[in-house]
């Protein structure tokens, strides 16, 4: 099922790239590595547009990935339409790295209800798996549940 889930999440990511204004401009090279119901693994090589004036990963990029990562975690549960944000929080623990570093990202959907969904997104340095940032993302999904492209029954946890 992991391959089917990864393919479905990939189709949602492609939809973001084709229709969104933000993600294609700041994280077009985000790579999906794996997906299973409730979990998406990604990676991103840090490039100049991802950095702040200290030449380290910009907190705004991390926040944008929390937003996207929460949506892709919902996609891993079969949601093509991923709802709208009601709350997003980011905790910055350490520097995320510099240009040329690759970061690892894990997004989880902890609960997909009829009205709200709750997700977390964690950011790690490669290899050592040291957590450097964590975000939570709550989404309103009641209207999104009606999308005929959803495959919620197929990707139950």
Q: What are the angstrom distances between the C-alpha of 107 and each of 55, 71, 143, 148?
A: 25, 9, 22, 24
| Angle of helix 2-19 versus helix 59-75 axis, rounded to 10 | 130
Q: State how far the Cα of 141 lies from the Cα of 23, in Å rounded to an integer.
A: 20
Q: How confident is the model at residue 1 (pLDDT cuts 50, 70, 90)?
A: low
pLDDT digits (tens, 9 = 90+) for 43-82: 999 999 999 999 999 999 999 999 999 999 999 999 999 9
Residue 117 above 80 pLDDT?
A: yes
Residue 109 above 80 pLDDT?
A: yes
Residue range 115-122: average pLDDT? 98
Residue range 88-104: average pLDDT? 96
Q: State how far the Cα of 65 lies from the Cα of 98, in Å rounded to an integer.
A: 17
Report the pLDDT value the prediction gives residue 3, as an integer from 0 to 100: 84
Contact in structure between 58 and 51 (CB atoms under 8 Å): yes
Q: State how far the Cα of 123 lies from the Cα of 92, in Å rounded to an integer.
A: 10
Q: How confident is the model at residue 128 (pLDDT cuts 50, 70, 90)?
A: confident
Nearest 5°: the CA angle 7, 8, 13 is 95
Q: Which residues contact 10 (CB under 8 A, 6 or more apart)?
A: 32, 35
Report the pLDDT value the prediction gives residue 2, as an integer from 0 to 100: 76
Could you give the domains of the chain? 2-146 (3.10.129.10)
Contact in structure between 46 and 102 (CB atoms under 8 Å): yes
Task: Enter the tokens of residue 40.
Answer: 């998406």
């Amino acid at each position: 099922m992991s391959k089917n889930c990864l393919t479905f999440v990939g189709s949602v990511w492609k939809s973001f790239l084709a229709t969104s204004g933000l993600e294609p401009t700041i994280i077009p090279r985000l790579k999906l590595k794996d997906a299973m119901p409730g979990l998406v693994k990604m990676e991103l090589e840090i490039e100049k547009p991802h950095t702040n004036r200290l030449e380290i990963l910009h907190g705004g990029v991390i926040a944008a990935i929390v937003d996207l990562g929460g949506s892709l975690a919902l996609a891993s549960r079969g949601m093509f339409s991923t709802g709208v944000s009601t709350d997003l929080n980011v905790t910055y623990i350490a520097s995320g790295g510099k240009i040329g570093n690759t970061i690892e990202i894990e997004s989880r959907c902890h609960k997909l209800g009829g009205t709200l969904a709750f997700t977390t997104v964690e950011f790690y340095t490669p290899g050592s798996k040291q957590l450097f940032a964590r975000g939570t993302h709550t989404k309103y999904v009641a209207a999104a549940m009606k999308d005929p492209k959803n495959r919620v029954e197929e990707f139950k946890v």
